[in-house]
A and B are shown apart, each in its own frame.
Chain A
Amino acid sequence: MKTIQNILRNTTLKKHRGLLCIFWIGMFSFSGVSQNSLETLVTSVSERLQGTITDSVQLYSDAQRAVRLSEQENSEELLATSYHNLATWHQGNRKIDSSVYYLEKANQLYKKLGLEVLQAETHLTLEDTYKQNSAFGKALEEDFKALGIFEKLENQAGIAKTYTRICDLLYYQQKYKEGADYCQKAIDILQPLNMPEELALAHRYKADNFLILGQYKDALSEINTAINVLQEAGKDQNILAPNYNTRGNIYKYMKRYEDAIAEYQKCYNIAKEANDEAALIAPLGNIGHVYRLQEKYEEALPYTLQAIDIMKRSGLNRNLFENYMHASDTYAALGEFEEALKYERLFSGERFKNLQQTISQLESELQIKYETSKKDETIVAQSETIDKQRRTQLLYIGIAILLGIILFGMYFTIKNNRKKRKALAALNAELAQKQTALEQSNSKLKDSLDELKATQAQLIQSEKMASLGELTAGIAHEIQNPLNFVNNFSEVSNELIEEMNEEIDKGDMAETKLIAAALKQNLEKINHHGKRADGIVKGMLQHSRKSTVQKEPTDINKLADEYLRLAYHGLRAKDKSFNATLETNFDETIGKIEVIPQDMGRVILNLITNAFYATNELKNSTVNSEFKPTVSVTTERIPSLEPASGKGVTNEEKASKGSVIISVKDNGKGIPKEMLHKIFQPFFTTKPTGEGTGLGLSMSYDIVKAHGGELKVLSKEGEGTEFIIILPNSD
């Protein structure tokens, strides 16, 4: 096995040696051009590293070339800068110590050259590298090294810059309070100096710290200062953009969502104007987030989707998987599970791609190292080769471990995905189940509603029947009397005719005439009582009839009297011991008014029956033997309150001839105050179960309302109750 490996290695090395020869020749010819072009190259690399990196691989090869050329030219300062550049290029990749390696090389050179400012700057870059690798302790050491140099040089700007860096570092270490203090130190130094960008940065960092500390107001004041400083200095919008972003974040935490969106919108507009697609992504994502916080998923969706779109189009897909996840969550919140699942899949796929990218990045890094090691091999001894080999082996082991970690990550993602899909299926099943349950309960509700309606109709009918029941006994009694008279008077008349015949035979014409007069009177009486019975029967028929809506001119006094008697005898028929004094007080000037007689009769009957019931209850419960149940029925015509104009009668005056009052008053136990407002509600009853339908007063109320009138109640506990029907007199 080992021999095979060696053979393979030797053959590749041979090949490379050939290639390297060509490479070196090329280099020499290039280096021969001039020192100036080297400087241009180094500066170009430095500038490109600060701007947006377009072709990373090209940049890297240029940086490497710069190092080699600097070595060639023996220009140590340029070499140091080139090392610095190379280190900066490596900073993109975390966990790789290339940056540190090159920076330390650069530092040694600067120290040797006595370029202390550059040395301090390198410390700061080194700090950044450590910071990115989360080696905060080491990073802080570098900051203090830089600070030491700046302090020795009394370089105020450098000191302030370092403070700002420390502030940022402390932020990552979650020491927000201390971080804010360092920012303040930087601000104190920067304020007299004319360095608006640095001053604004310190303020912005301070704002970030305050934001995390929950001091939103202080954070807002800091970021406003930062923005003011930059605006007064007339700085470009591009420089202001991150400040707007921070202000947006602050507003977001303050739940001032509208303001937050406005800030992010500014960032978006700036990026749009600068035609910087990459910078569009963050504000779009942030606006989406704010809307999601407000649970405005519909509004959030287009922003997230646009962010995804830009990422896909521009290939800047570092946060693509996150946005896929947001889109999936948003769709899930909107109940669009298919879309949610689609984005869930995209999320997993993208995550996988990201991991693959990391792998290939690592591989290329390793490739570079490998190549470097091969180059060294040609120069150094065999022992070193073995050392390199071991290193390479270690790297392979590293790759294996990393691959393992990545595979594990993939497995976890897939498992997670499967879990989510399962949860989704379970959710769907649950939803279906809930829907069925809902449908069931709906149909149950409908059934019980139908049942209820039927019951209600039945109850209304039974209320009618109940009042009819109250009536029948009264009617029977009322009919009995006229029938007795009819029978008696016809019997007597029969006798009288016999007597009359006798008198005619006797020739006593005077007596015959007297008897004839009596007979005539009797026949009138028979006719009268027959009509009386007829009227009662008709009334009963009218009462039981379903509904006639015909209003007719009705003598209210007669109607009230009739039903008073019917109610009285009805109750007597039920309860033999019952008795009450009936008082009637009829206003004879009323005349006839337009009502539906059987309906109004039902109301009067109901009120009187209630009145009797109330007095009877008190009578049965009182110890006072002097108590006399009394029910009085009063009618009264109330003339229109509007004074007559005197210039003829207008139509309106004709229409409002005032009103008619029918009052039913008892001296029963009265209605408790807390019940008064309930008595007209359907099914409200104080009677024992089965005795009252609870519809009497409610129906009475409706009938009076249908007549355009009012039904009022006055009651005092222990004194009695008065129901007042007010009917418009508009015949």
Chain B
Amino acid sequence: MKILVVDDEKDVKDLFLQRFRKEIKKGDIAFAFAFSGEEALTYLKQHKQETVLILSDINMPGMSGLELLEKIKKKYTAPPPTVMMVTAYGDSENYNTAKRLGADDFLTKPVDFKVLKEKLMNNN
């Protein structure tokens, strides 16, 4: 399963690679990283069918996670990728907007990797 992680914090990449190092070793999960909404769209264009799950931060300079979500849900319909939103602001407004735009799940920072792992495994 290919997962695209979108976050403007570059160390997220190393963190995910270490947190999921066993799963990666086993070949259960593969990760791709984008550091902005724009970069994520470019990646998706190039790797249409591979990605099944997108994990995106909401608060990013430039294109926000919600905009990215809206675009993905409009453009990529068959099959629609699963999109999980992550935010530091666990408020209902962000949550509602994300849900309205078609987000499949909603996580708040700090991310509990045990929970995330379970969710990813279940999604598999």
Contacts and interface: CB of A to CB of B under 8 A. Distances in A.
Interface of A: 477, 480-481, 483-485, 487-489, 492, 496, 518, 521-522, 525, 529, 568-569, 572-573, 576-577, 579, 581-582
Contacts of A582: 61-62
B76 interface: no
A487 B18 CA distance: 13
Contacts of A481: 9, 88, 109
B101 to A, nearest CB: 13
Interface range on chain B (Cβ under 8 Å from partner): 20 to 34
Given A480-B110, A576-B91, A581 B18 contact: no
Given A489-B18, A577-B93, 17 more contacts: A477-B89, A480-B88, A481-B9, A483-B110, A484-B109, A484-B111, A489-B15, A492-B18, A492-B19, A522-B14, A568-B61, A572-B89, A576-B91, A576-B94, A577-B97, A581-B61, A582-B62
Contacts of B109: 480-481, 484
B82 interface: no
B75 to A, nearest CB: 18
B51 interface: no
Contacts of A487: 110
Interface string B92-122: 0110010000000000011101000000000
Interface of B: 9, 11, 14-15, 18-19, 59, 61-62, 64, 88-89, 91, 93-94, 97, 109-111, 113
A518 B15 CA distance: 11
Contacts of A521: 14
Contacts of B111: 484
Given A484-B109, A576-B89, A579-B64, A525 B94 contact: no
B55 to A, nearest CB: 15
A484 B61 contact: no
A390 B54 CA distance: 144
Contacts of A483: 110
Contacts of A576: 89, 91, 93-94
Nearest to B110: A484
A529 B11 contact: yes
Contacts of A579: 64
Contacts of A573: 89
Contacts of A581: 61-62
Contacts of B11: 485, 525, 529
Nearest to B111: A484
A522 B11 CA distance: 10
A576 B88 CA distance: 11
Nearest to A522: B18
A518 B94 contact: no
A492 B62 contact: no
Given A480-B109, A572-B59, A492 B94 contact: no
